[in-house]
Amino acid sequence: MDFSYYNFHIFPIISSFVFFLLLCSTVFPAVSAAPFEDFRRMNQTFRPGEESKKLRLIRTHLMKINKPSVKTIQSPDGDIMDCVLVHHQPAFDHPVLKGTKPLDPPERPNGYHHPGMESENYQLWSLSGESCPEGTIPIRRTTEGDILRANSIQRFGRKIPKPVRRDSSNGGHEHAVGYVSGEEYYGAKASINVWDPKVTDRFEFSLSQMWVISGSFGDDLNTIEAGWQVSPELYGDNYPRFFTYWTTDAYQATGCYNLLCSGFVQTNNKIAIGAAISPTSSYNGGQFDISLLIWKDPKHGNWWLEFGSGVLVGYWPASLFTHLRDHASMVQFGGEVVNSQSSGSHTSTEMGSGHFSGEGFGKASYFRNMQVVDWDNSLIPLSNLKVLADNPNCYDIRGGINNVWGNYIYYGGPGKNPRCP
C-alpha cells in the first residue's frame, strides 16, 4: 500500500492546550532489574529498621491492590494473572464507587460496524490455554520488585505531576501526535499497529496511544488514555503491553496506569490490562494492529473502552471526572518517548517501529481509520487534523486521508541518528 502521493503538512505552532499536555506527562525512574539487591545497595545509609519499615509499607500496599483470587494463571512471559471476582476489583475501593456494581454494556456508537464475532485477545497470558471463569476478571499481580523500581510507594503506578520541559537537551518527553480540537468530542476510534521498540534506558519508555482530553489544562486537566507501551520501569521487561491511564487533576493525586488504583471498572474476563501483546509487527513484513474505541455512554455518561474487535474491556465512571463528565475538548493520536539524557547525545530509545514516517506501510508505525464520536453518538471522520512532532529530526509524523484507511498518520523514529546527535 503506497501513500507516498499524498501531501502532508506539519503544523509547528499549536495552541497552549497542546503545549501544556505535551509538558505534563512523565514517568517514574526505575531502580534495578534485581530490585532487592539494588534497593539495599542504594540505601546503605538506611538503618535496618528503616529498610524493614519500607518493606512493610510495600507489603501493605500490595495487599491493597492485589485482591484475593479464585484462580491463578502463570503467563509464558512470567506474569501471574489473578482471577478476581468482579465486585472485588480495585475500582470499588474508590469512595464514589463503593457499594456499586458493574453496569451492563451500552450500545455502540452509530456507524460502528461490528465484525460479528469477538476476535482473539492477542495477549501472551492467554497462550497458556487457561482463562478466568465468568464473574471474574484477570488482574496482573503486582510484586515487591515492581514497587521497588518506582521512585516512591505513593507514586507507584502514577505519573509525576511536575511538568517536564520540551527542550530535549534538558531531558523529557518527546511526542509525534495528530490531534483535533475546537469542538465537543464524545469518544475516539482508531487502529494502531503494534511494535516492540527498543528502550535503551531503564528510566525511559516508548508508547503509542489515544488521549481523550478536557479541562483548562491547568490543575483541572482531565484525560483518558489507552494504547500500548514498552516500560521497563513499570513492568520489569521490554514487552509491548496494552495499557490504560486516567487523571482528573493533571496527574497530581488522581488516576493511575491500568488497575493499580481504584477507578476503572473492568467487566471482561478475557482481557488483562497491562498484559503483553502478541504478535507484533515486523519491519518490511507482517503488520499486526489493534483497534481501540473509547466512547461516552449517552445514558449513564461513563466512558467505555473496547479493545480489538468487539471486546468490551470496561469503563471509566463519569463520577471520576469534572470536565469529562460532559465531553472532551481535544483528541490526540500518536507516540511518546522519554529522553532521559540531560546532556550529551540523544537517547536511542525508539518510537513506534523505530523508523521515520516517510518509510510508509510495513516499515513505519501508523494509526488508521481515525474517527471521533460526536454529540449524537455517531462515529464521524476527523475534521482539521493537525500533526505535531516535538523533535522531527528524532521522531516525525505525517498524516493523510484515502478511501481505504480514512484519516491516518505515520509516525515514529530511531531517536539518536546523524540528524539527531
- 8 Å CB contact between 387 and 9: yes
* In 288-415, alpha helices (H): none
- 8 Å CB contact between 111 and 378: yes
Model pLDDT, residue 309: 80
Give the CA distances from residue 81 to residues 75, 187, 307, in Å, rounded to whole numbers and listed in that order.
7, 30, 19
Give the Cβ contact number of residue 175 at 10 Å.
23
Sign of CA dihedral 184, 187, 193, 196: positive
For 99, half-sphere exposure in the C-beta direction (CA atoms, 13 angstrom radius) is 2
- 8 Å CB contact between 191 and 367: yes
- Residues in contact with 227: Cβ distance below 8 Å, sequence separation at least 6, in sequence order: 192, 207, 208, 209, 210, 242, 243, 292
- Pairwise CA distance, residues 13 & 180, whole Å: 14
- 8 Å CB contact between 83 and 138: yes
Model pLDDT, residue 119: 53
- 8 Å CB contact between 347 and 415: yes
List of the chain residues with pLDDT < 50: 1-44, 46, 162-171
Q: Which among 256, 91, 293, 250 has a CA at the least distance from the CA of 162?
A: 250
Grid cell of 28 as nine digits: 517514574
- Pairwise CA distance, residues 175 & 386, whole Å: 13
For 320, half-sphere exposure in the C-beta direction (CA atoms, 13 angstrom radius) is 28
pTM: 0.86
Name the residues annotated as catalytic. Answer: 225, 336
Give the CA distances from residue 349 to residues 189, 226, 238, 270, 288, in Å, rounded to whole numbers and listed in that order.
27, 21, 12, 31, 21
Q: pLDDT tens, 308-359?
A: 888 999 999 999 999 999 999 999 999 999 998 867 899 999 999 999 999 9
- 8 Å CB contact between 213 and 329: yes
Residue with cell 500500548: 228
- Pairwise CA distance, residues 161 & 347, whole Å: 23
Q: Structural domain boundaries of the chain?
A: 24-412
Model pLDDT, residue 161: 62
Four-point Cα dihedral 273, 130, 192, 204, nearest 10: 50
Which element (helix H / strand E) includes 41? helix 35-42
For 346, half-sphere exposure in the C-beta direction (CA atoms, 13 angstrom radius) is 23
For 115, half-sphere exposure in the C-beta direction (CA atoms, 13 angstrom radius) is 11
- 8 Å CB contact between 254 and 265: no
* In 74-216, alpha helices (H): 144-148
Grid cell of 394 as nine digits: 528524532
Residue type, 185: Y
Model pLDDT, residue 114: 65
Model pLDDT, residue 7: 39
Q: Which among 210, 249, 246 has a CA at the least distance from the CA of 229?
A: 210
CA–chain centroid gap for 418, Å, is 30
